[in-house]
Amino acid sequence: MENRRIAEILRSGEPDEFVAVQGWVRTKRELKGFSFLEVNDGSCLASLQVVLNEDLPDYDDILKKLNTGASVEVAGVLVGSLGKGQRIELKTDKIKVFGEADPETYPLQKKRHSFEFLRTIGHLRSRTNSFGAVFRVRNACATAIHQFFQERGFLWVHTPIITANDCEGAGELFSVTSLDLKNVPRTQTQAIDYSKDFFSKPTYLTVSGQLEAEVMAMAFTNVYTFGPTFRAENSNTSRHLAEFWMVEPEMAFCDLKGDMDLAEAFLKHIFKYVLETCQEDMEFFNQRIDNTVLATADNIINNKFERITYTEAVKLLEKADVQFEYPVNWGLDLQSEHERYLCEQLFKKPVIVSNYPAQIKAFYMRLDEDEKTVSAMDILAPKIGEIIGGSQREERLDVLERRIQAQGMKPEDLWWYLDLRRFGTVPHAGFGLGFERLVQFMTGMGNIRDVIPFPRTPESAEF
Ligand code: 4AD
Ligand code: MG
């Protein structure tokens, strides 16, 4: 008999069909003469109801083994269900227990567990309803991302994890070394002799694949990266991870407006795809996690994002009848309370803020005519804050060299990046989407640690 996935059986299984399923027991209910099991295989939120009759061989012995968490294979016939909540159930002829789960020690019992508790059992939490839904939606977001770019002729390029550059220039780098540094005090790491190191120079885990994506865009016109990135920023917040996934499209022959247009169409596409393919999971989030999730999705898909410049944003914030903790002043970066005021209270939808002061942004962003601002843009999302950061890139060799120097970096370290401006330079632009912030935005999950299977945050790397 063919093994089938539970999602498919619940969707299209018919009475009288013989099926076999494999999965994990969620609950067991013993009644007089028969028992019900809920079996889940991760393919969907719902579990398959399985009926065991007491005339099954070894009924009592088997029942003792069927506790929450046990792994099973169940075969039998599908019958229409009388119970409410399911269309169809499985009447068991044969059941095999692969592995038991001792109810005294198995941490996931039927009650609701807090997310804090579930973080301490990261190896088991994916077996709960909430995390099942999160990781299915995460998968759907990834599929939608590839679909969006592939349909538009973008090439998926694979940029390195180990790099010698600090793309953002923010110094939030994790070092990679083959040297034994156990006995080197932190204060002396500058003096390390890297000639004996694996790469003969200091290297780091990448903070962004952008610079390498620019290399590829200068040959393939439109490309995107989708991979892990790393930042040693010591921000213990619900929006920061030390290891997060980023999606970075890069387009040759594109300016800031084209960049914003693509980013908006991109977010709309992902929301639409997830609503269509993960209906049950999205309804679950709306009911159990955040009752604005479905309305937010609808808002994203159907309304144009607000677009304002940084200078306009500062004026709006200065006029706001809210007491902010941090000052608002032209030249200072926007804090998350400012970002949230703009998209949650003022516009009540995503806001694209553009043309930030040059001195608070990275060296590669294109200097505007006024020489005060750069062609940067951030997309701010309600409840999340910055979800996308992007810009038109500086394509003029002399200006770029000046900007690199002004930020205390050495142009010779980026000789290959400058070569792109020496040979066939073109206006180009791109952005980076924080993938976990997208999944948070989509699901309403409050903490970024709960939308990635194995979160990496300060002092936490269990596996
Ligand atoms: O704004 P960021 O730093 O931009 C870049 O890295 C550019 N090189 C992107 C580009 O233009 N190709 O980061 C991009 C996005 C942010 O908007 C945010 O969503 C996410 O990455 N992000 C983080 N997500 C989780 N944890 C962190 N520590 C993050 N830092 C940034
Ligand atoms: Mg940013």
Q: How far is the CA of 210 from the centre of ligand 1 (A)?
A: 11
> Could you give the angle at the alpha carbon of 442 between the alpha carbons of 168 and 278, nearest 5°?
130
Residue 393: helix, strand or coil by DSSP?
Answer: strand
For ligand 1, the distance from its centroid to the CA atom of residue 1, given in whole angstroms, is: 49
Yes or no: say if 358 and 374 are a contact pair by the CB < 8 Å rule.
Answer: yes
Residues with CB under 5 A from ligand 2 (ion): 389
For residue 211, give every residue at least 6 positions away whose Cβ sits within 8 Å of its Cβ, in sequence order, or none: 165, 167, 364, 414, 417
Phi, psi of 326 (to 5 degrees): -100, 150
All residues at 6 or more sequence positions from 117 whose CB lies less than 8 Å from its CB, including other chains: none
Taking the model in full, what pTM does it have? Answer: 0.96
At how many degrees (to 10) do helices 129-151 and 256-277 cross?
130
Ligand 1 contacts CB of residue 249 (under 6 A): no
ipTM of the complex: 0.99
- The number of residues in the chain equals 463
Which ligand sits nearest to residue 240's alpha carbon? 1
Q: Would you tell me how many other CB atoms lie within 10 Å of the CB of residue 160?
A: 13
Taking the CB of residue 287, how many other CB atoms lie within 10 A of it?
11
- The residue whose CA is least distant from atom 26 of ligand 1 is 240
User: What is the 248 CA–ligand 1 centroid distance (Å)?
Assistant: 9
SS3 439: helix
Q: Which domains does the chain have, with CATH numbers?
A: 6-111 (2.40.50.140), 127-159+207-450 (3.30.930.10), 173-206 (no CATH)
Q: How far apart are CA 344 and CA 385, in angstroms?
A: 9
Phi/psi class of residue 213: alpha, beta or left (left: φ > 0; alpha: ψ in -120 to 50)?
Answer: alpha
202 and 426 in contact (C-beta within 8 Å)?
Answer: no
Dist. CA 4–CA 106, nearest whole Å? 27
Could you list the pLDDT tens digit for every one of the 463 residues in the chain? 678 999 999 999 999 999 999 999 999 999 999 999 999 999 999 999 999 999 999 999 999 999 999 999 999 999 998 877 889 999 999 999 999 999 999 999 877 899 999 999 999 999 999 999 999 999 999 999 999 999 999 999 999 999 998 888 888 999 999 988 888 777 777 778 888 889 999 999 999 999 999 999 999 999 999 999 999 987 889 999 999 999 999 999 999 999 999 999 999 999 999 999 999 999 999 999 999 999 999 999 999 999 999 999 999 999 999 999 999 999 999 999 999 999 999 999 999 999 999 999 999 999 999 999 999 999 999 999 999 999 999 999 999 999 999 999 999 999 999 999 999 999 999 999 999 999 999 999 999 999 999 999 987 777 7
* Ligand 1 mean position, distance from CA 285 (Å): 25
From 149, 243, 386, give the residue whose CB has the most ligand 1 atoms within 8 Å, as the site to mutate: 386
Residue whose CB lies within 8 A of the most ligand 1 atoms, among 159, 387, 437, for a mutation test: 437
Q: By C-alpha distance, which of 366, 261, 374 is closest to 311?
A: 374
